[in-house]
Amino acid sequence: MGNYKLTIGILTWNGEKYLPALFDSLQKQTFQDFEIIVVDNASSDGSVRAVQSVISTRPAEAGQARNDRVVITQNPTNIGFAAGHNQIFALSQTSYYLALNQDVYLEPGCLDKLVQVLEHNPRLAVVGPRVMKWNFGDGPNSIVDSLGLQVYRNRRVVEIDAGEKFTGVSNDVQTVFGVSGAVVLARRQAIEAVGGLFDSTLNSYKEDVDLAYRLNAAGWEAAIDLGAIAYHDRTGFGSKNNDDLSASKNKLKQSPLVKYYSYHNHLIVLFKNEYWQNFIIDCPWILWYELKKFIYFLLCDRPVLKGLEDLWQCRIAIKTQRLNIKKLRRLSWREMRKRMYA
């Protein structure tokens, strides 16, 4: 498309209402050295028309519309979030790649700050902004959506400070275990070094957790720039409390698809990326957490457990992925432990 520093990858699926606001925020960025690749995952609404209405287009290949730095491609079927972004990443050649949700709005200086963080910190693989909750239609608020990913001893992974009022220092850059997949700026060199962006077999959910594990194991780092601000209208907002009752109540609010993939993909990520030494040390916490979830789904939501059958059928492919990840490891199990519980 052109000689740009950054590719912004936007995967759309029935997001017509969000897209004008998203593109408006991109047009207002102080950093403009980027191209935009939009892949529509077989939307049934007017998502493609919404994109076309906010950009100048000219004729191009069948199924595509372009201007100087925007390309829109329509998939005949929905191939999932992870595979969709992998498709966009493969189409790009820039030094940096921004995976951007359709339900996100960026403040004007957001991209400029994120790019500068990567350029001044060569060990960083990914950086994310301070993501605040966005009630679409009501405007932004002061509640945190994500300040990065945090791992507990039972291997539950949560968005840092989700649901809390932001009280941090707005010019800090903080090292974290991983970055939320809603807005993540990645260094191409690092992504290619760990075998690719997202694991397409995960479809949707936990793909950002898997990426965080792979990057850390390979010796790369992640950070959040609290001065770069984005807003996210999250559909699957998690519980801000860590107790079992809060987690159970949150499960009741989730769609069957979210529950299925969250449980199924969590187990895949755990098997692919866990160091056996750390598993032995934390085994009581991990097994107790998994047992409680299994009992809950057995009593209250049995369809979710069908994911176990799928895991068994895919066990050889998952084992192969684990072996490939182990070959790329640069961190010892002790070093990984420090990063997980920092």
How many other C-beta atoms can be found within 10 angstroms of the C-beta atom of residue 299? 8
- The confidence score (pLDDT) of residue 67 equals 57
Inside any domain, residue 258:
yes
Q: Are residues 266 and 120 in the same domain?
A: no
What is the tens place of the pLDDT at every residue in 61-102? 434 444 568 899 999 999 999 999 999 999 999 999 999 999
CA–CA separation, 217 and 93 (whole Å): 25
CA angle centred on 178, ends 7 and 98, rounded to 5°: 10
Q: Are residues 76 and 139 in the same domain?
A: yes
Q: What is the DSSP letter of 198?
A: S
Inside any domain, residue 226:
yes
Q: Are residues 193 and 46 in the same domain?
A: yes
Report whether pLDDT(107) > 70.
yes
Q: How many residues comprise the chain? A: 342
Q: Average pLDDT in the 296-311 region? A: 93
What is the tens place of the pLDDT at every residue in 248-278? 666 666 788 889 999 999 999 999 999 999 9
Q: Are residues 267 and 190 in the same domain?
A: no
Confidence of residue 241 (pLDDT cuts 50, 70, 90): low
Instruction: Please state, for a pLDDT cut of 90, what percent of the chain lies above it.
Output: 80
Among 46-55, 183-192, 263-272, the minimum mean pLDDT is found in 46-55
Domain containing 320 equals 244-340
**DSSP calls for 253-277:** HS-HHHHHHHHHHHHHHHHHH--HH
The number of folded domains in the chain is: 2
Q: Are residues 253 and 224 in the same domain?
A: no
One-letter-per-residue 3-state SS of the chain: CCCCCEEEEEEECCCCCCHHHHHHHHHCCCCCCEEEEEEECCCCCCHHHHHHHCCCCEECCCCEEECCCEEEEECCCCCCHHHHHHHHHHHCCCCEEEEECCCEEECCCHHHHHHHHHHHCCCEEEEEEEEEEEECCCEEEEEEEECCEEECCCCCEEECCCCCECCCCCCCEEEECECCCCEEEEEHHHHHHCCCCCCHHHCCCCHHHHHHHHHHHCCCEEEEEEEEEEEECCCCCCCCCCCHHHHHHHHHHCCHHHHHHHHHHHHHHHHHHCCHHHHHHHHHHHHHHHHHHHHHHHHHCHHHHHHHHHHHHCHHHHHHHHHHHHHCCCCCHHHHHHHHCC
Inside any domain, residue 265:
yes
What is the tens place of the pLDDT at every residue in 108-158? 999 999 999 999 999 999 999 999 999 887 777 889 999 999 999 999 999
Q: Are residues 294 and 208 in the same domain?
A: no
pTM for the structure as a whole: 0.92
Among 169, 203, 232, the domain boundary falls at 232
3-state secondary structure of 305: helix
- The confidence score (pLDDT) of residue 57 equals 43
Q: Are residues 32 and 73 in the same domain?
A: yes
Q: Are residues 106 and 45 in the same domain?
A: yes
Chain mean pLDDT for the chain: 90
Q: Average pLDDT in the 1-9 region? A: 88
- The confidence score (pLDDT) of residue 203 equals 86
Q: Are residues 313 and 190 in the same domain?
A: no
CATH number of the CATH domain containing 182:
3.90.550.10
Inside any domain, residue 251:
yes
What is the tens place of the pLDDT at every residue in 200-211? 999 888 999 999
Q: Are residues 221 and 333 in the same domain?
A: no
Among 204, 232, 260, the domain boundary falls at 232
Q: Are residues 135 and 202 in the same domain?
A: yes
CA–CA separation, 245 and 94 (whole Å): 45
- The confidence score (pLDDT) of residue 235 equals 66
- The confidence score (pLDDT) of residue 256 equals 83
Q: Are residues 86 and 177 in the same domain?
A: yes
